[in-house]
Amino acid sequence: MRVSLFALALAGSLAARAQAPITISGTMPGCADSTTVTVAEPIAGGRLNYFFSETPNEALVRGGRFRYQLHGSPTSLLLLQGKCAPPNWVYVEPGAQVSFTKQEDSAGHLTYTFGGTNAAANDLLGNGKLLNGGPPDQGRVIALLGTAPTAAALLPKLQGLAQPSLDQLDALFRQHQISATCHAALRAETEQRLLSWTSGLLDAYLTDSAASRLPLTMRRPEARKLLTQLFTLYNPDLPRYRLTALGTDREKASLIRRGLLAGPVPASHLWAGFRQPLAGVDSQLEDFDYEPLALQEHGVGSTILNAIALATLTPADLVAVVAAYRQRFPASAYSPVLARAVARAQAAARAPAGSSLAFGHYAAGTKGVAFTPTPGLDTVRTLGGLVRALRPGRAVFVDFWATWCAPCISEFSHEPALHKFLSDNGVDVLYISIDQPGLREKWATMAAKYRLQGYHYLAPPALQKALETTVPHVPYYVLFNKNGQLVQADTYRPSEGEKLYQQVRERLR
């Protein structure tokens, strides 16, 4: 009888935990009050999405701390990022209570110490210890690929690269420090990291071996053999890899389409027909036609959400692609979300045109960007002409950014010191956004939220097109003197502090 009562009590405890909301809290020394942390979480029944959210997905920092409660109870990897929170991965499951402390040493190196549910595993994940440490891990894969000429010799070496991470997870599971679902999810994530790093490099080598500049000694047939073996061992189509956010399933589809990996030919090319309207967020939409239907459902659904978030679709194109999606996947978890987005887009198209003002100023203590009518700006096609038109007779430091650019937002934490230095030296700050026009409200809101003191301009599409060769990426910074002449392209970043300040002094001397 006691065994039965214990089993009932345990079942009740597990059920209560599953129903409890998931919360994430963090201690972030040095983060100013009202700084925000954005949490990318999946829609119910879908995958994590970096850009789209129907519900508020930000938490305010107060007294160096923030707390965020998820809107659902997924088993998922989440991405946290913000002005003073570099992109950081966290694993959650139903009922999870996750906490962490961010620490920075004198060299600027960040470490995270986790507490709560599956803390030991999140320590590995959040600190880049699961083959997710960025360029250094890619460099380790490159070095291994150059050590042998055959697939048979290289495969065990590559597997050995992932083994220490897998062994750590196995040990934590045996010691009952992490749950079975966490153990399985992060093992899968590590295996897919290995597949992602290696397949991307082999793809570049097979596509153009000279341009790839990889130190490989193997010939193309051996490279293709290794690619096949990796995708056989770590096939991203398998259910155990459903939580990964790495896009290895998409890489597989692309390789099949281009004949670098064997695979079935699609019965239809539905998504290839939408390549042009969705080119703003995905230049190879036809890859999805080579995926299994279950993966198409998530991949295409998430891509359409990205296009909605970044406002790259006309209302007519949005209606057409959503109709095709809902016809193919009528029971998809994405369908209701997409239907609501179509309704909002159609309502916006019928509404009277709002303010088209795209130039304004934000000052400390104000509620938002104060816009100023600037006739004729939409005809300017050069950066110098824009600077001379907006701030005649003033030296100007230009910051190119976008609302979706995490590195841009990370640099904003250095804005107060930069603003003081530039103000003391008679230099104006001009923030130029390369967002789409449909993101005007989000752009203006973020400019105020991050307290970006200075002048703001939402560059129209024609100017953005004209600046493509001048501004190769964001964030990007340039400096003009008071005569409107460019004196430094691609300056140091605000985070580089005194290096940037000295550069400004020298160029304006």
Residue 55 pLDDT exceeds 90: no
Question: Do 483 and 499 fall within a single domain?
Answer: yes
Query: What pTM, to 2 d.p., does this model score?
Result: 0.72
**pLDDT tens sequence across 375-418:** 777 778 888 888 988 899 999 999 999 988 888 988 998 888 99
Any domain includes 8 = no
Residue 443 pLDDT exceeds 70: yes
> Residue 348: what pLDDT?
61
Question: Do 214 and 156 fall within a single domain?
Answer: yes
**pLDDT tens sequence across 177-226:** 999 999 999 999 999 999 999 999 999 999 998 888 898 999 999 999 99
Residue 58 pLDDT exceeds 90: no
Residue 431 pLDDT exceeds 50: yes
End residue of a domain, out of 263, 289, 324: 263
Cβ–Cβ under 8 Å, residues 70 and 93: no
Residue 489 pLDDT exceeds 60: yes
Any domain includes 1 = no
> Residue 85: what pLDDT?
72
> Residue 342: what pLDDT?
87
Residue 83 pLDDT class (50, 70, 90 cuts): confident
> Residue 165: what pLDDT?
96
The domain containing residue 139 runs over which residues? 128-263
Q: Which of 445, 298, 435, 421 is nearest to 362 (CA)?
A: 445
> Residue 19: what pLDDT?
63
**pLDDT tens sequence across 280-337:** 889 899 999 999 999 999 999 999 998 888 778 888 899 999 999 999 999 999 999 9
> Comparing 354-368, 371-385, 473-487, 490-504, which segment has the lowest mean pLDDT?
354-368
Question: Do 147 and 278 fall within a single domain?
Answer: no
Percent of the chain predicted with pLDDT > 90: 59
Q: What is the mean pLDDT of residues 453-461?
A: 92
> Residue 487: what pLDDT?
93
HEC letters along 397-465: EEEEECCCCHHHHHHHHHHHHHHHHHHHCCEEEEEEECCCHHHHHHHHHHHHHCCCCEEEEECCHHHHH
Any domain includes 147 = yes
> Residue 181: what pLDDT?
96
| Token pair belonging to 384 | 């110098």
CATH of the domain at 43: 2.60.40
Question: Do 164 and 300 fall within a single domain?
Answer: no
Tell me how many domains the chain contains. 4
